[in-house]
Structures are given as structure tokens and as C-alpha cells.
Structure 1
Amino acid sequence: MIAYVPLMDFSMGQDAAGLRGELRALIDEHLPPGFLGAFTDDPADLATAQRFCGILAERGLLCLAWPPEYGGRGASAWEQTVVREEMWAHHEPRGAQYMGVNWVGPTIMRHGTAGQRERHLPPIARGEVIWCQGFSEPDAGSDLASLRTSARRDGDGWVISGQKVWTSYATMAQWCFLLARTTKADRRQDGLTVFLVPMDAPGVEVRPIGCLMGPHHLNEVFLSDVRVGADAVLGTEGEGWRVVQEVLSFERVGIARYARCERLLHDAPAALGDAWAEAPDELRVRWTRALTHCRRARLLAYRVIALQDAGTVRPGDAAAYRIAVTRLDQESAEVLMDLAALGGGTRFQEEVEDHFRYSHAATVASGSIDIQRVLLARELLAVS
């Protein structure tokens, strides 16, 4: 069994401990010792993640909190949080599936037609399909409402043209959750619509962008007169901004980044062995502070999850968590790199280096930290 035990016991219901044990046993049994995630230069790592998703799905663990009629077990949001924490703590062995599980599927449940739910939810629950997110554009990243990708009516369907960028997993995805402008409006947030677009549709072109994090993470997607049917529209035409705001609050808390930070920090003394005793006092203080900040980020995440569960989450709630966990990602990475320089063995050093690379993207992934501060300030000051 993996030796990691949280330093603090957060009460998440009596089934949480057993669920953690079950997940860790599956990780030990089915993941190779050096696994660092699905998105490496070795195609075998993606294949491992896809097999692992199938194993989770067979046990009803992939979409644990989904209703049974959609392939879940109707578990609590807290049990699903346990799954998020254990997956991210151990290099996200679901690969890109977390996207479908955390927010694509639930959004289709809330806003999709019966046909869309029937078509899309079962493959997600079985771990068979990968989604990507078509939001950011070259001139519309943090200011998403200024996007230029357009969709115009064409008979019974739509024709979509434009460009998306920074699209994670686009090279492997079968579907794209895409935001496009369908009408011009005085307010930029109006006139936007969400489309569910097959990535193999004629006119869709994906170009990978090389980056520090490895393959599959960043891509450009070009849409040249891509034709989709009327059934590709998710929710109400022109009200995509409302759907996207809901999506983003779920996405920003759906990745339990604090869990990996905490595990690596907790593992450091044992990994370093005798070298831990030689660590400078200043570095030990930074290590302790980072662990404290792990607890802060965890508690902020739990607050947002409780609000989501009650249906009362606001953009500022998710933004506060996002700011805290982004700062934690980078703070812990710096501390861990300094500790790894003292020793710790190959496996520990590889995990730390992987975490360090990911931390560089933390300030812009899922919305830049500057925009999160704006969202939080607006809510605190009640500014629209």
C-alpha cells in the first residue's frame, strides 16, 4: 500500500477512509512504479490511464457521484472529492477523463436534452471518451467574452468558423465543449452559445504546441466551416455565458491540486533520510509554511464543494480557492525543488520535477490568477 497518510483528519463521512484505501490499492495494483501521468512522451502511459479508467468504471468509481441512471452510484459530493484528491495526488491516472467526469458530464445533465444525455453520458461513465475545451482564443484568453469564433445558422444546423488555442488534449479528444458567438450583442457576454462538436468533423484541424509540460497539453484548433446539427447546441442559444460561468466554477475546484502538494511535502523527510537532518532551518520553515498553506487550500476547496452541493456557489467563491491553490502550487514546487537538491532518490526527484513543471502553468490554467483576483474583488465590492 502507498504509505501516504494525511497529516490532518478532515471529516468527510464514515465511508471516506475505506474509499481512500480502495483507490490506493487499485493505484498500487494497476499503475507501473514510475508512472508520472498520461501525458508523457511514452504512449504506454496514455494506454495505462485509459485501462485504469475502465477499471474505475467497472467498480462504479469513475463517476461515483453521478446518479445511477447516468452510470454513477449516487454518492455524495464528498466521496467524489476523495476520488479527486487521490487521483491528483498520484499523478492523475484518469488522464484527461477528469474533465468529462468533473464538469462536462454534469453540465450535460443540467442543460442537455434527453438525446444529448443518452448520447454522451454513458461513454463518459465508462471512461471511453475524451473531451477537450474550446474556450480560449489568440485574442480572447482571460477576456473570454471577446472571442471571435462564430457560428451561423445553415438550414437545420450550424456552420462554425474560428480558432481556439491552449486546448489541452485536443490531439486525443473525440469531442470538444466549444463556445462560439451566434449573435452580436451590446454586452459581449450575450449572444454566445455552447456547442458539442465532434473532433473528427470535416474542417477541424489540430496543431500541437510544444511546451514544458510535455505532449498533449497545449494545442491550436482551427475550425473551417465546420458543420454541426441543431442537436449540437447545449442549453439555450445565446445563453452560453451562463453555462460557461457554471462550468468554470466546477472546473476550478475539480482538480485537487493541494492533494499532490501535500503528499510530496509529507513524503520529503522520509525520502531525504539522513539528508533531512542537514536541511537548513530556513528551508524547514518554508516546508512547514507550505504544509500550512495546503490545509488552507483544502479548506477553501471544501467550502466551495459544500456551496456547490447546496447550489449556491458564486464565481468569487471558486476564485478565492483558485488564488490560494495556485500560490500553493508554486510555493510548494520551489520548496520541493530545494529539498530535492539535497537528495531523496530518483523517484522523489522525478515527482518533484514533474510537479515543478506543472506549477509554471498554474497562474494561467483554468483562468489566470489576475482574473481570479478581479472576480473576487468584484464580489467583495459588489461590483457588476
Structure 2
Amino acid sequence: MSATGNRAAREFRAEIREWLRAGLTGEYAALRGRGGPGREHEAYPERLAWERHMAAAGWTCIGWPEEYGGRGATLEQQVAFHEEYALADAPARVNHIGEQLLGPTLIAFGTPEQHERFLPPIVAVEELWCQGYSEPDAGSDLSGVRTRAALDGGEWVVNGQKVWTSLAHEADWCFVVARTEPGSVRHAGLSYLLVPMHQPGVEVRPIVQLTGTSEFNEVFFDGARTAAGHVVGAPGDGWRIAMATLGFERGVSTLGQQVGFRRELDALMALARSNGAIGDPLIRDRLVRAWIGLEAMRATALRTMDGVAAGAPGPEASIGKIFWATWHRALGELAMDVRGAASTLTGPGHDLDDWQRLYLFSRSDTIYAGSNEIQRNIIAERVLGLPREPRP
């Protein structure tokens, strides 16, 4: 990067740092550290208000081109934003799925009419989105989708079931992968539909997780409808669009995620020193290995930024996903061992503490957003060029 680019990135970093310092005061001061995986229920209305406050100040969708409501931020500026947001311990975002997944997908593949209809409400945090991919028999192997949609006059009629749908109970819209060509199998015949959630024929059932919270949901479509023009790309081309969305999910926001991981690791090291667990050579070795892993994770993420700059990360981004998911799950296990016997006890009302919640929720890290098994297949077949796994 040139000296001018470095200076622009530093100035942008200073700008967002100052805005967050001034903004996370008064009514928003109590939101620091609220929300996140396993804790999405925390202060949800207040976090929504905060994100709309961000939108009014021009701090949402910063990486989008200016013509679509963004700030046209460079890759270095986007990295600075996500890192500073995490360093400020700002509340977890409620509009991540719309801003980081659907928005870039629509910009790349949507029609002008879809841009005009759907992008401004995402920028303003007026409409929230969820992702309708996984099904009871098509989780990691998304090509097994059975949810179907058929044209009826000027509308698609959708029937089927989705599962593990994050924040569906708060969403206004869902982007749904559905089979629209009768008799098609696997990747062929799928379409990427934009479906309103608030209508007859859509039922959301929260799934109670190990943590006792319910940010994942089942979603049932029984004759739900959406306009014929609410298909992204051509009908039958949904697999390609869906894979592009998954690529955008591996974008620069992962660097902000790693700031949170570092905060957790630092706190765990402090706990190990205070309770004497650091004296156990095995615990000490695992803490050191966790620190080394985090450094390697950041280096790996930075190496994938070329793919982000080109439009969307390629299959190499699966390396980062399997890396951070496995590392974070291991951190949860290490936290239980650092705490010792106290880790088995809950508080009044069986409330979980932060370490117990980390341990329990991180079990899902290696499953959602692409399971470790599927990530290994992607790396083997699409990165290393190994023979494809035999299909039944």
C-alpha cells in the first residue's frame, strides 16, 4: 500500500475511533460488550436503536460503493473500522446478515429494481434479514435442499422448512434457497428468492440452545408468497448466487471477530494467573498454543483479503473458517479447565457465567456457517485439487 493509502487508512481509523468514543456514552454507554453469539437476546431493542444511530451518522455499509448508499471505503479502511469497533467493545451488530451477506450479493447480482427496493432499507437498518439455507436433511450439504417454490401468476409460492435460521424471529425478510425446477437434483434447479417474513404462511419457532437462549430458529413456509421479480439472478442459478453469499460471509468483519477472541484469551490468561492454574505446565502450554494460534489466525485472514478486494473470497476462505471455529471451540474447553471444578456450577436460577456460555455456544462454531467436515472437502477439492468425495 502506498504512503498516501497508509495515511488515509490511519486517518479513517482515527475518525471511527473518535466517533465511537463519543458515541458510546449517555444512553448508549451501557451497550458496551452486549450481544454476540449466544447472547443475541441482550439489549436487542437498544442495540437496534444504536445501529440506526450509526446509520444516521453514515457508519453502516461503509464498504459498499457510494452509489448504493455506502462510503466506498477501501479494504484497509474496512479492516480499520471492524477492528476499532471491536476494540471499543461496541455492541454486537443486529444488521450483519443484511449488510455483510445479502447487500454485497445484491450489489453483485441483483437488478436495478432490486437495488432500489432493498439496499436503502439495509443501509438505514429499517429492514432486517435472515438466511434461509439449512434444512433438517440439508445442513452442511446444501445441495440437498427440498424447500420448493413455483410460480403462480406473478408470485413465487414457497413450501418447505428451514432450520438453524439465525435471528429469524427478528427478521423482516429472508433470502431463501429453494428448488424451483421439478425433478432437478443437487446443485441444479435451485433459485435464490427474497421472501417477506411477516405474512400468512410463514411460521418461526425458536430453538432452545445449550445456553438457554434462542437465536437459532426453525422456519416453516406453507404457501408463503413473494413477487416473481424477487429472484436474484436467473431462476435455476441459485447455487452460484448462494455460494457467492457464503464468500462474502468470510469478509473483513472476521478481523473484528478476532479482536474479540483476543479479549477472551487475555481475560482467560488473567484468570489463570489469579486462580493459580497458570502453575500447571499443561495449562500454561495450552495458553501459549492458543496465543500462537490467534497470531496465525490473523495472518491467515490477512492473506485472504486479496480475495475480498477482488469482489468475494475464493474457496481459500474455508481455511480461515475451519481455523477460527476449531480454535474458538478449543478456547471454550481450555476455559473450563482453567476454572477447574467451579466450571461445573451455575449461579442462582441456573444462570451461566461468561466462560460457561463460551464453552457451550462454541460447540456450534464448527457447525454453523459451514461445518468443519464440509470446509475440509472444499479445501481438498477446490484448493488442493484432490479427487472429489464419492457421491452415493
Q: Give the TM-score normalised by the residue count of structure 1.
A: 0.86
Q: Aligned to 2:129, which of 131, 139, 148?
A: 131
Partner of 2:213: 215
Partner of 1:60: 58
Q: Aligned to 1:381, which of 375, 379, 385?
A: 385
Letter in 2 for 1:249: G
Q: Aligned to 1:364, which of 343, 364, 367?
A: 367
When residues 312 and 73 of structure 1 are mapped into structure 2, their CA distance, relative to the original with a 3 A threshold, is closer
Letter in 1 for 2:359: F
Please give the secondary structure, in 2, of the residue aligned with 1:93: coil
Q: RMSD of aligned C-alpha atoms?
A: 3.1
When residues 284 and 44 of structure 1 are mapped into structure 2, their CA distance, relative to the original with a 3 A threshold, is closer
* Whole-Å separation in 2 of the counterparts to 1:42 and 1:163: 23
* Cα contact 1:275–1:342 (8 A) shared by 2: no
Partner of 1:332: 331
* Cα contact 1:170–1:206 (8 A) shared by 2: yes
* Cα contact 1:23–1:86 (8 A) shared by 2: no
When residues 276 and 309 of structure 1 are mapped into structure 2, their CA distance, relative to the original with a 3 A threshold, is farther
* Whole-Å separation in 2 of the counterparts to 1:277 and 1:12: 44
* Whole-Å separation in 1 of the counterparts to 2:179 and 2:129: 21
Moved more, 373-382 or 25-34: 25-34
Please give the secondary structure, in 2, of the residue aligned with 1:32: helix
Please give the secondary structure, in 1, of the residue aligned with 2:159: strand
Moved more, 199-208 or 334-343: 334-343
In the alignment, structure 1 segments of 5+ residues that lack a partner are 1-9
* Whole-Å separation in 2 of the counterparts to 1:332 and 1:105: 32
Q: Aligned to 1:177, which of 171, 175, 178?
A: 175
When residues 130 and 151 of structure 1 are mapped into structure 2, their CA distance, relative to the original with a 3 A threshold, is same
Letter in 2 for 1:333: G
* Whole-Å separation in 2 of the counterparts to 1:43 and 1:368: 24
* Whole-Å separation in 1 of the counterparts to 2:11 and 2:212: 36
Q: Aligned to 2:106, which of 80, 83, 108?
A: 108
* Cα contact 2:31–2:43 (8 A) shared by 1: no
Q: Please list, as runs of the form range in 1=range in 2, the aligned pairs for 1:277-356 lying within 5 A after superposition.
A: 279-311=279-311, 313-315=313-315, 317-340=316-339, 350-356=353-359
* Whole-Å separation in 2 of the counterparts to 1:340 and 1:141: 34
In the alignment, structure 2 segments of 5+ residues that lack a partner are 1-5
Letter in 2 for 1:183: E
* Whole-Å separation in 1 of the counterparts to 2:276 and 2:16: 28
When residues 42 and 233 of structure 1 are mapped into structure 2, their CA distance, relative to the original with a 3 A threshold, is closer
* Cα contact 2:202–2:224 (8 A) shared by 1: yes
Moved more, 249-258 or 64-73: 249-258
When residues 153 and 269 of structure 1 are mapped into structure 2, their CA distance, relative to the original with a 3 A threshold, is closer
Partner of 2:258: 258
When residues 163 and 278 of structure 1 are mapped into structure 2, their CA distance, relative to the original with a 3 A threshold, is closer
- Deviation, 1:158, is 1.4
Q: Please list, as runs of the form range in 1=range in 2, the aligned pairs for 1:234-245 lying within 5 A after superposition.
A: 234-245=232-243
When residues 370 and 194 of structure 1 are mapped into structure 2, their CA distance, relative to the original with a 3 A threshold, is same
CA deviations on 1:120-149 (whole Å, 9 max, x unpaired) are 111111122211100111111111111111
- Deviation, 1:19, is 5.0
Partner of 2:163: 165
When residues 273 and 167 of structure 1 are mapped into structure 2, their CA distance, relative to the original with a 3 A threshold, is same
User: How many residues were matched structurally?
Assistant: 371
Letter in 2 for 1:211: Q
